Amino acid sequence: MMAGPTHHALARPEFDEGPKILIVVAPYYKDIADNLVAGAMAEVEAAGGTYEVVEMPGALELPSAIGIAARMGEYDGFVALGCVIRGETTHYDTVCNDSSRGLTLLGLQGICIGNGILTVENYEQAAVRADPQGQNKGGGAAAAALHLVALSRKLARKDKGLGFTADRLGEG
């Protein structure tokens, strides 16, 4: 008999200075959102980071909130959390696609974001995925953000500038 698929999780990144993470959550399904946030908070704490939590009305507002916070706040990374359950209309597709697209566009601008917006067929699927003792998708989203923060710190060069350094200005 063939074994089921296995999932590999990267080791938690280590930081000299703990990152500051903003967790942005849409608590439309409050108990699901609370579990997602609990998982995210635990992951950030385990990595030595600190966090703040803010709430938005829905998943569509999460990218805008993160964009504002990235421009105006002092955060190293962001975690987007929420839950979209398929209904009878195409609104589900719009919310899923546009919230994901918005987060992706922010990420491509260099903002470190973990996407923990659940997109599911029913409440039971959401509950399993949100459970911090189960699939812990909130913790997974926080881990993604932390890995991006670690990568951005690793790739940042302190001497990177305009092509010259002050000690070379007088040479020539």
- Beta pairing class for 113-120 and 20-25: unpaired
Checking if the pLDDT of 165 tops 80, the result is no
Q: Return the amino acid letter for 78.
A: F
Tell me the average pLDDT of the chain: 92
Does residue 112 carry a pLDDT above 70?
yes
Q: How many helices (H) and strands (E) does the chain have?
A: 5, 4
SS3 129: helix
Largest CA distance in the chain: 73
pLDDT reading at 171 higher than 80: no
* Phi, psi angles (nearest 5°) of residue 21: -115, 140
* E runs forming strands in the chain: 20-25, 50-55, 77-85, 113-120
User: What is the structure's pLDDT at 8?
Assistant: 87
> Catalytic one among 7, 8, 91, 147?
91
Which of 113, 112, 114 has its CA nearest to residue 152?
Answer: 112
80-96: average pLDDT: 95
pLDDT greater than 60 at residue 161: no
Q: pLDDT tens digits for 11-51?
A: 999 999 999 999 999 999 999 999 999 999 999 999 999 99
- Please give the pLDDT value at position 1: 58
The structural architecture, per CATH, of the domain 20-154 is 3-Layer(aba) Sandwich (3.40)
Whether 91 is catalytic is yes
* pTM exceeds cut of 0.85: yes
Model pLDDT, residue 140: 98
In this predicted structure, the answer to whether residue 160 has a pLDDT above a threshold of 60 is: no
Among 13-17, 59-63, 164-168, which stretch is predicted with the lowest mean pLDDT? 164-168
